Amino acid sequence: MPDLKFTPFPMLLTERLVLRQAVAADAPDLFAIRSDEEVNRYLDRTPATSVAEVQDFIEKINRSIAENKSMYWVADWNGRLAGTICLWNFSSQPFKAEVGFELHPNYQGKGLMQEALSAVLNFGFEGFSLETIEGYVHIQNAPSIRLLEKNGFQKIETREAEAAVIYARNRII
């Protein structure tokens, strides 16, 4: 696997978003996302129960960035944290990563995650020269499936036992 360096952390700009590294001051907004029932419906995680828990999470993801294991951006829209998007689970043969994203319900349906995903895909393929980016989606999460398909992802596997569908997009050469 290529020698990846995740620092300095790359800030990505879209038409309406600033994708940046999470900081401690993001904990209340990130708590609103990670504790939201609708956001967590299709995620395999326990909803956050406190801002302190989210502060610990921010420290954990920032350690992971410092260790060159994952990239985790918060999507800042007009000074409010609307969602998050990450590249993680990097592997070689082929050189690939997994994308994950979440958006607070107040910001859904505005095309914000489309902007974020487009920027992160471009960064992954151009900045890191990834060959493939995969997305693991709950089989009933139609909005996320539509977003992946709209961005050129193809379904490669269904895992009924996990209620998951795996999508992949290859770098266009």
| Domains delineated in the chain | 12-170 (3.40.630.30)
d(Cα 144, Cα 101) in Å, to the nearest integer?
A: 9
CB distance 91 to 83 below 8 Å: no
> Cα–Cα distance between 70 and 126 in angstroms, integer?
17
Over the stretch 98-143, which tens digit does the pLDDT of each residue have? 999 999 999 999 999 999 999 999 999 998 999 999 999 999 999 9
- Asked if 31 contacts 50 with a C-beta cutoff of 8 angstroms, the reply is yes
Alpha-carbon separation of residue 111 from 36, 67, 115, 167, 170 (angstroms): 20, 32, 7, 20, 23
15-63 pLDDT, tens digit per residue, is: 999 999 999 999 999 999 999 999 999 998 999 999 999 999 999 999 9
Q: Which pTM value belongs to this model?
A: 0.94
Residues 131 and 5: beta-carbon distance below 8 Å: no
Q: Residue 168 pairs with which residues in a beta bridge?
A: 134, 154
- Helices 112-122 and 142-150 sit at what angle, rounded to 10 degrees? 50
